[in-house]
Structure 1
Amino acid sequence: MFKKVALGISGGVDSAVAALLLKRAGFQVEGVFMRNWDNNYEAGFCSDERDFEDATYVCRKLNIPLHRVYFIKEYWNEVFSVLLNEYETGLTPNPDILCNRYIKFDSFFQHCRNNLGIDAIATGHYANTSFGPFLERYNESEGVRLLQPADKHKDQTFFLSQVKQFALRKCMFPLANLQKREVREIARNEGLMNVAKKKDSTGICFIGKNKFQNFIEEYIETKKGHFIDIDSGQVVGEHGGLHKWTVGQRCGVPSHKDAYFVFKKDLVTNDIYVI
């Protein structure tokens, strides 16, 4: 039923090994590298040029076609604009969840289905579904359930929690039954040295090495307010904007020896209550 598969390949070890496992399982694999952020016009940063080189290296090594697609407009409208709006209203959104829902498992899925004629998509996420890592238990008449992978320390199901059924039903997760150390070992054994030792990407991709609080100032107006001790009601310091802080975050106040933690944010007074 499933013969031609489009794999989202990022230039990292996980998607590289996912590609290898798909080929070993007999699928016709099309590698797709997504670019979602434009460094030429925006204040953010994205390491996709280096990642694209690594993705190209992997696909050449495995003899897989590589396509480069651009979802910059979609990312701005569906992810980044939503992110800014929620920060302005005192919330702390997760861009990875938004990106998976609207870009990697929507725009990507639709593009591959319409332009590459694929039967399914695949990613290097550490996750599984009730249909199995390679859709071996696929059932047209059933809904699919998102399941945890074998490696609980790398479990990424939280970030996939809002992916819609129409895409999740046709998605393979080749790494579902592997530990991270096994993935790196497979890459080394296959001679994929460029990615075998590559560090995992962490944090928000377009911020790079910048501090989040400095980055967000480029897009959201800074409105200073007070840090207020929730127990005493006393002002203990000043903050540079509600959008820079999230509930539970540690915040050092120069006038106090011990650290405070954000308890809640007041949108009306622009104050942050700490404990």
Structure 2
Amino acid sequence: MVKKGRVAVGMSGGVDSSVAATLLKEQGYEVTGVYIEAYNEPGCRSDQDRKDALAVVAHLDLRFKILDLRKEYKEKVVKYFLDEYQAGRTPNPDIVCNREIKFGLFYDWAISRGFDQVATGHYARITTYKDSPRRDLQGESFWLQRPRDRTKDQTYFLWQVPRKHLEHILFPLGDMLKSEVRTKAKEIGLPNADKPDSMGVCMMGELKVEEYLRKQLGENPGKVVLITKSQKFRSSHKIAQRSELWEQGSELRSIGTHRGLWFHTIGQRGGWEMEAKMQKAEMEPLYVVGKDREKNQLIVGTREETMTNEIGIDLSTPLEMTRKLWIRIRNLGELVAVTQCHSGTVTLEKPIFAPAEGQSAVFYDERGRVVGGGVIDTCNLTKNVP
């Protein structure tokens, strides 16, 4: 078999990256498995994951490397994670981890050592279109595209991977269903074929976020206040230090206490302590609508108050609205049609639930290609409440 080139495969110890390495070897690539040491705190499964990765490369007879990025992970991902929560926003550590670690430092390490390609077990595709009338605004011809298995689509987490890197990245699982990946792992006898999928934070594992934040940031108790349908609430970290977070003359009713704004995210139901008299009252379910950092108040309301069809986004690059676009504001969330995008303000075809400052908004075209994205910085919550 003619060798296609050298490829460094990021091996997490899980089934997906193991099958990705298997497929590349079968296709004729010279494969080296690379385990990235990133987070190794009490409760983390990194030791077991490393052993699982080593068992797989031994089974496949591959070269194996360990890349120690613990210091860089702490500086680039953990610090971001804590800073965003402390600032009252909702972070996307998986997106930053992919940009800075897997397709940043790991990618640079591999290319600088003569590897032709970098591969992972992500569910995504990289495509080119010869029939495109022209290249996109960045002059790049490679596109990140949704995978065949839409239930495992990870393009949301990958949108910040530099476009210039896509030419040297492989996603072998892009055209496979998860069930087919499991079947393949069992057919070739991979030692981790039955290992459960990781559902936690990128490279942190199944982190207990509230417990971790309490350990790192402590507690800062404050009031929980209720907003009514007649009030218009504008949530934005840009004005989080101002008191004019709601219309002049409106009243907010204190209904309980919270232990720290960083323990709550927009759209969260419950999780705070209600006053005794409020516990007996018949009320609709309440959700977090926003946060006032200056007053250390958590703003809550009904589900209606979490809905909006207009969000402000700090766009990474200009968007070309000459074609129909769809937006996604959370991983595996609904794709909603965009009707207008002007100066970073995006109007949607219908209201969406609980967009949160700090989260990413990713844009797709009719082919499922990622055409842009940005970080949500303003949400006009209750805009459509009568």
TM-score normalised by length of structure 2? 0.64
Matches of residues 32-43 of structure 1 in structure 2 within 5 Å? 32-39=34-41
Cα distance in 2, alignment partners of residues 209 and 38 from structure 1:
12
Instruction: For 1:273, give the aligned amino acid.
Output: I
Q: Aligned-pair distance for 1:167?
A: 2.3
- Please state if 1:248 is matched with 2:267: yes
**Change beyond 3 A, Cα 1:13–1:165:** same
**Aligned residues with identical type, % of pairs:** 39
TM-score, normalisation: structure 1:
0.89
Alpha-carbon spacing, 1:9–1:97, altered in 2? closer, same or farther (3 Å) = same
Does the C-alpha gap of structure 1 residues 109 and 144 become closer, same or farther in structure 2, counting only changes over 3 Å? same
Mapped contact 2:226–2:254 kept (Cα < 8 A): yes
Mean Cα deviation higher: 258-267 or 7-16: 258-267
Structure 1 residues 215 and 177: CA distance shift in structure 2, 3 A? same
* Aligned pairs (5 A) from 1:115-154: 115=113, 117-131=114-128, 142-154=140-152
**Greater mean deviation of Cα atoms: 49-58 or 146-155:** 49-58
How far 1:131 moved relative to its partner? Answer: 4.5
Q: Is 1:21 the equivalent of 2:23?
A: yes
1:118 is paired with a residue whose SS is coil
Residue in 1 that maps onto 2:254: 235
Q: Are 2:265 and 1:268 equivalent residues in the alignment? A: no
How much has 1:216 moved relative to structure 2?
Answer: 0.7
The question of whether the paired residues in 2 share the 8 Å contact of 1:46 and 1:206 is answered with: no
Q: What is the rounded CA distance, in whole Å, between the counterparts of 1:157 and 1:265 in structure 2?
A: 29
Residue type of the alignment partner of 1:18: A
Instruction: Please identify which structure carries the higher helix content.
Output: 1
- Superposition pairs of residues 192-207 of structure 1, within 5 angstroms: 192=190, 194-204=191-201
- Aligned letter for 1:249? Q
Cα pair 2:269 2:286 within 8 Å, conserved: yes
CA distance in 2 between counterparts of 1:210 and 1:149 reads 27
Matching of residue 189 in structure 1 with residue 187 in structure 2: yes
Deviates more, 1:242-251 or 1:253-262: 253-262
* SS of aligned partner of 1:197: coil
Residue 102 of structure 2 corresponds to residue 76 of structure 1:
no
Query: Conserved in 2, the CA contact under 8 Å of 1:2 and 1:119?
Result: no
Q: Which amino acid aligns with 1:201?
A: S
SS in 1 for 2:192: helix
Q: Which amino acid aligns with 2:193?
A: A
Measure, in 1, the Cα distance between the counterparts of 2:119 and 2:61: 17
**How many residue pairs align between the two structures?**
261
Q: Would the aligned equivalents of 1:151 and 1:180 in 2 still touch at CA under 8 Å?
A: yes
Q: Does 1:60 align with 2:58?
A: yes
Amino acid aligned to 1:185: T
- Per-residue deviation, 1:49: 0.9
Match for 1:266: what amino acid?
Answer: D
1:210 Cα deviation after fit: 5.5
How far apart are the structure 1 equivalents of 2:261 and 2:194?
39
User: For 1:5, which of 4, 7, 30 is the aligned residue?
Assistant: 7
* Change over 3 Å in CA distance of 1:167–1:23 after alignment to 2: same
Structure 1 contact 46–205 (Cα < 8 Å) conserved: no
| Shift in CA distance, 88/156, structure 1 to aligned 2, threshold 3 Å | same
Rounded Cα–Cα distance in structure 2 between residues aligned with 1:207 and 1:274? 30
Closer, same or farther: CA 142–215 of 1 in aligned 2, 3 Å: closer
Amino acid at match of 2:120: T
Distance (Å, rounded) in 1 between the aligned partners of 2:258 and 2:66: 42
Structure 1 unaligned residues grouped into runs of 5+ = 133-140
**Secondary structure of 1:196's match?**
coil
One-letter code aligned to 1:37? Y
Q: Is the 8 A contact 1:250 1:260 kept in 2?
A: yes
> Can you list the C-alpha shifts for 1:108-151, whole angstroms capped at 9, x where unaligned?
01111223x1001000000001159xxxxxxxx84321100000
Larger Rg: 2
The structure where strand makes up a greater share of residues is 2
